[in-house]
Chains A and B, each alone.
Chain A
Amino acid sequence: MGNNNDIFQVAIIGSGPAGLSAGARAAVLDLRHILLEKSDHSSDTIYKFQKGKHVMATPDVLPLRSDVDFNMGSREDVLDTWNTALEKHQINVRYNTEVKAVSGQKGNFELTLGNGDVINTETIILAIGLQGNLNVLRIPGAESVTHLQYQLDDPDEYEHETIIVIGAGDAAIENALGLCTHNTVYIANRGNEFSRAKEANEAAILAEIDRGRIIPLYNSNSKECTQGTLTFDTPDGDVTIECDRVIARLGASPPRKFVEACGVTFPSDARNALPEVSKTYESNVKGLYIVGALGGYPLIKQAINQGYEVIEFINGNTDLDPADEPLITETLKDIKNFDNETFLKEIRTRLPIFKELNPLMKRSMLVESRVTAPSHGTIIFERGDYTNSVYTIFRGSIKIQTNEDDPSQHVVLKQGAFFGEVGLISGRRRSATILSNADDTILIETPRRTMIKLREDVSSLRKSMDKEAIVRQIQTYIASSLDIDAIHKLAESASIENFRKGKVLFNEGDEGDALYLISKGSVMVSKQIGGKEITLAYVAAGNYIGEMALMSDLPRTATIKAAVYCETIKINGDIFRKLVNENPSLQKEIEEKYGQRIVETEKMIEQPEAGSIVEFLIGEGIGEATDVLLIDESICVGCNNCETACAETHGGISRLDREAGPTFANVHVPTSCRHCEHPHCMTDCPPDAIKRNSEGEVYITNDCIGCGNCVKNCPYDVIQMAPEPPEKPGLFSWLLFGKGPGPGEDYGYQDRAPKDARKTAVKCDMCKDITGGASCVRACPTGAAIRVKPDEFMNFIRDGGESI
């Protein structure tokens, strides 16, 4: 059959990065191949990106292995390169060809096409991605009108139009935002909020709605469409809107149905489940291979490599190592007695939390992780460090020092256990020092971003991690003196409860039935005094709250509200009370805290002004800050030396704006980075260029690609985009020879820089590379500028905020 010229050796379905690369390799190897593409151009997903969108080539470390070139660049550049490759290799591509059905088996598959034609092929490569088919409006008139579209390439194409965008997801919001500057834009939402969208998009759309630039249609279902109008079914009856254009962004239905019809099985019913494939990307249907996003490789570069590899495999080159093999070798270079394959295999048997990772996830987890073999006694991290990676013990054991003052008190964790997850969840400093406890210890250190992603994707991993985290946090923050059985008992009664910003955990006067341990975020404590609600305190993650009512049998003495999004561990009050009564040392600890809180409360009640300052500062984001710049206006002389110093130590761009920002009483919060516990800027950084170092500073590395996501995501407006500054002359060459701008003088280059100059994001890095601390504080001649950490800031306020 192999010699039959009517039958293709390989049919590739989908001409995205994976399909294209497979086509190119097949052409180079002179295989009889055909590349089938549904639309009239290749790479439809990337083709549909907004004009000029920057396409990333991550992971940087992964080498590209393909006959198709790929470098990061604009959407247009990338598509150009690929079209050139199509021609150069004379890939046999057929556009406007949808595959409707697949039948047959390895050696003789039959593909039925949309137009009824049949193609015969020995093998099939499914490279259709996850995009699937766009959902369309199914309302009367939708098929006949011409002003209805399901995507938007370039929002700048339209001006002075009335446009209705339908949908409440990111795509709809981004379209509406892009269009609203030059058009009248409605956004139609079936519900009444945009909570499904990314945080930054939700904030942006609500802001534009507030400003009146986008008109929202809430609780509105589209009902009927005629040329130039769209009618909605709303709670107030039918509403017809005249419009020039309707853009419906209704999402896409995943291609699962088609894939299943091909005979491929999925491991679970979960919406985001992917079919399992072998090492050679072959599915359970022999001769049918799956590559690209559908095969679990969502990144372009990975998909391109897979396209190459899958053709090599089909062509009989089964010894080909994956492209990331050298990277795994690099990760494992310090580990003796394990070759890559055994190590990967043993991850499954040795580390229960990684059990459900598929082979591809395991590989990329390992590539992004660090594997070390610390000898007995080596410190892994120290109490107070700001690192937030998670460690798993591949072999050997480690020792957690539970008491800072007495290193002999410790807990040992053995092979298979993990640690460091509390730092990941809380975003705060490490709560204990950890050392290696055996000479043959091997640890896998997985970075924050990789772990967060795994936590989202693998539910079993999340569950076992959360369960362990409850036990650890109770042990660390409430009852270090209790034995482990008692702690487990407490943990079993505990549940995780989350609160959105502003939500009440409990009210003053409620019955006390539980203790809350704050594992993420922070809360505000307030009390009704003389008919007014007075804020008494701010309590940060890593503290418990609600013990007063439990210890005294009185109702709740204060109201607790979430200052930012909070995750808490709610512990059953009865079980806790019983445990406290049985353990005198715990009772003493809790009572001490209780007494301390009463004293602090009294102090705050005496000065209601201080409560207002707490409230003001929480409103300014101190509730999630780890380090914030405050200015005592009562001694600030306005010399701006802080800004000048910042600019001088950071290439001419000040990362703080002294005058901007709100003031309450004499406390001024300048526009400057708060170094949040869970930095908003980090949430959507494509090259992962925003890092936090062990001292807590959040900073941007040179990997920044200038996409501006962090600027949008920062709720405090402290990140700016700036071009690279020219070098500045030294102090004396300026003083003596008048060279260039002097110290503190503006370069003015930002205005002179060419319009298309490459801009990158800049923000406060807390002068991490300069010894002696933040230069703004060092340069303040009067001592008005101070940096405050959350644990200090209540003291600062209780002292009245001034000391001159």
Chain B
Amino acid sequence: MISNNVHESFLVYRGLKFFWLAVALVFVAIILYIWHEPLGEPNGGTWLGYILGVISAALVIWLTWFGVRKRQYALSATKLKVWLSAHIYFGLALVIIATLHSGFQIGWNIHSATYILVLLTVTSGVFGVFVYARYPKLMTKNHAGLSLDEMMGKISELDQDILKEGQQLPEEINLALLEAVRKTYIGGNIFEKLSPKNVICPTTEARNLIETKFSDMTLQNQNISKIIALLAKKTKLLRRARRDIQIKVILRIWLFFHIPLAIGLLGALFSHILAVFFYW
């Protein structure tokens, strides 16, 4: 059926086509590395070392080209999903090829710096894959049919109800409710977005206040139980809205590491190649 082909995620594209290609590349490289007996210890300077180096450098350039390809919207050749699939599996392969290229040598120099940057870039990418595979589902579950805008709309409707009900309650509660409506926010700085649990939320505080100080009144005063129900609804929505923002941030934040690291890697790679040729 056509629809199956059309609807296929980047990870499993065409029966893991790029995964197997990457495995094949790595396999050949490892066999060559074991078979090859260089004069002296394994090194980037042997003929195999050069071959592996050239492959690694080509991979790095091709992998960073993804950033350009992503923006070539009118280019019709291949779907971006196919590129991403290849980007992931060849990015992983790069770690092994580059390691073999280094001959397991490490030191305080530009060559090792390049190698470390490869490791860091790929690690951040692996985290990105993990995030892409895991969080969309959680986000859909958290949405449960409501978009963030709709949640916000519902929250402000609840606010109106809370203010209305609050007018008939003791001054202390009323003030706390007013505070809760005015000062409750969603989002905030990056840390608050990432860990909404640590945000001090006036709505929760108002609820705590009523539940601790006025719980004995609930039986006599119907308004109190009504307000508790409203607050409970609101905190639940707030939790979902904050969770939504948290997931959206997580889905993007890794790029703020992955891309600068990749650019850094590109720079280091050129320095490394230049250094190799200057100090032949």
Bound: A788/B3 CA distance, A: 8
* Contact A799:B4 (CB < 8 A) given known A633-B140, A645-B73, A782-B81: yes
Residue B6 at the A interface, CB < 8 A? yes
The answer to whether A804 and B251 touch across the interface, beta carbons within 8 angstroms, is no
B interface residues, Cβ below 8 angstroms from A: 1-4, 6-13, 68, 70-74, 76-77, 79-81, 83-84, 131-133, 135-137, 139-140, 143, 145, 147, 149, 248, 251-252
Bound: A649/B76 CA distance, A: 11
The answer to whether A637 and B251 touch across the interface, beta carbons within 8 angstroms, is yes
The answer to whether B139 and A633 touch across the interface, beta carbons within 8 angstroms, is yes
* Contact A641:B76 (CB < 8 A) given known A635-B9, A782-B10: no
Which of these, A634, A638, A796, contacts B137 with CB under 8 Å? A634
* Contact A803:B73 (CB < 8 A) given known A636-B136, A638-B248: no
Residue A326 at the B interface, CB < 8 A? no
The answer to whether A771 and B76 touch across the interface, beta carbons within 8 angstroms, is yes
Bound: A649/B149 CA distance, A: 28
The answer to whether B71 and A786 touch across the interface, beta carbons within 8 angstroms, is no
Residue A780 at the B interface, CB < 8 A? yes
By beta carbon, the residue of chain A nearest B2 is A792
The answer to whether B3 and A792 touch across the interface, beta carbons within 8 angstroms, is yes
Bound: A634/B135 CA distance, A: 8
Residue from B3, B77, B135, B252 whose CB has the most chain A CB atoms within 10 Å: B3
* Contact A635:B136 (CB < 8 A) given known A659-B147, A779-B80: yes
Residue A270 at the B interface, CB < 8 A? no
Chain A, residues 648-672, CB within 8 Å of chain B (1/0): the string is: 1100000000011011101000000
By beta carbon, the residue of chain B nearest A666 is B140
Q: Which residues 760-804 of A have a CB within 8 angstroms of B?
A: 770-773, 775, 777-784, 786-788, 792-793, 795-796, 799, 802-804
B86 to chain A, nearest CB (A): 12
A499 to chain B, nearest CB (A): 29
The answer to whether A782 and B2 touch across the interface, beta carbons within 8 angstroms, is no
Which of these, A644, A773, A780, A795, contacts B81 with CB under 8 Å? A780
The 9 A-B residue pairs with the shortest CB-CB distance, nearest first, are: A772-B76, A743-B71, A648-B73, A645-B73, A633-B140, A804-B9, A783-B81, A796-B3, A771-B76
Which of these, A770, A771, A782, contacts B9 with CB under 8 Å? A782
Bound: A118/B252 CA distance, A: 86
Residue A445 at the B interface, CB < 8 A? no
Given A778-B80, A781-B70, A792-B6, list of 10 further CB < 8 A pairs? A637-B131, A666-B140, A743-B73, A782-B132, A782-B136, A792-B2, A792-B3, A793-B3, A803-B4, A804-B133
Which of these, B4, B74, B136, contacts A637 with CB under 8 Å? B136
Residue from A634, A743, A782 whose CB has the most chain B CB atoms within 10 Å: A782
Interface SS of B by simple majority: helix
- Of the four ranges (under 10, 10 to 19, 20 to 34, 35 or more), the interface on chain A belongs to 35 or more
The answer to whether A783 and B71 touch across the interface, beta carbons within 8 angstroms, is no
Residue A632 at the B interface, CB < 8 A? yes
16 contacts between A and B (CB under 8 A): A633-B140, A634-B140, A648-B73, A743-B71, A743-B73, A770-B74, A773-B76, A775-B73, A777-B79, A781-B10, A781-B70, A781-B81, A782-B81, A786-B6, A786-B7, A799-B1
* Contact A783:B140 (CB < 8 A) given known A663-B145, A731-B72, A788-B3: no
Residue A708 at the B interface, CB < 8 A? no
Bound: A525/B147 CA distance, A: 30
B156 to chain A, nearest CB (A): 18
Bound: A775/B1 CA distance, A: 22
A interface residues, Cβ below 8 angstroms from B: 632-639, 641, 644-645, 648-649, 659-660, 662-664, 666, 731, 743-744, 770-773, 775, 777-784, 786-788, 792-793, 795-796, 799, 802-804
Which of these, A632, A638, A778, contacts B139 with CB under 8 Å? A638
B71 contacts which chain A residues (CB < 8 A)?
A: 648, 731, 743-744
B248 contacts which chain A residues (CB < 8 A)?
A: 638
B133 contacts which chain A residues (CB < 8 A)?
A: 804
The answer to whether B74 and A775 touch across the interface, beta carbons within 8 angstroms, is yes
By beta carbon, the residue of chain B nearest A648 is B73
A280 to chain B, nearest CB (A): 57
Residue from A743, A783, A803 whose CB has the most chain B CB atoms within 10 Å: A783
Bound: A770/B147 CA distance, A: 32
Bound: A664/B73 CA distance, A: 29
A770 contacts which chain B residues (CB < 8 A)?
A: 74, 76
The answer to whether B73 and A772 touch across the interface, beta carbons within 8 angstroms, is no
The answer to whether B147 and A663 touch across the interface, beta carbons within 8 angstroms, is yes
A804 contacts which chain B residues (CB < 8 A)?
A: 9, 11-12, 133
* Contact A783:B13 (CB < 8 A) given known A634-B140, A743-B71: yes
Bound: A796/B1 CA distance, A: 9
The answer to whether B80 and A632 touch across the interface, beta carbons within 8 angstroms, is no
Residue from B71, B83, B131 whose CB has the most chain A CB atoms within 10 Å: B71
A663 contacts which chain B residues (CB < 8 A)?
A: 140, 143, 145, 147
The answer to whether B140 and A782 touch across the interface, beta carbons within 8 angstroms, is no
By beta carbon, the residue of chain A nearest B140 is A633
B251 contacts which chain A residues (CB < 8 A)?
A: 637-639
The answer to whether A644 and B73 touch across the interface, beta carbons within 8 angstroms, is yes
A46 to chain B, nearest CB (A): 45
A771 contacts which chain B residues (CB < 8 A)?
A: 76
The answer to whether B9 and A783 touch across the interface, beta carbons within 8 angstroms, is yes
Bound: A779/B84 CA distance, A: 10
A638 contacts which chain B residues (CB < 8 A)?
A: 136, 139, 248, 251
A775 contacts which chain B residues (CB < 8 A)?
A: 73-74
By beta carbon, the residue of chain A nearest B68 is A731
By beta carbon, the residue of chain A nearest B131 is A637
Bound: A596/B83 CA distance, A: 39
Bound: A51/B251 CA distance, A: 52
The answer to whether A783 and B10 touch across the interface, beta carbons within 8 angstroms, is yes
B81 contacts which chain A residues (CB < 8 A)?
A: 780-783
Bound: A804/B136 CA distance, A: 12
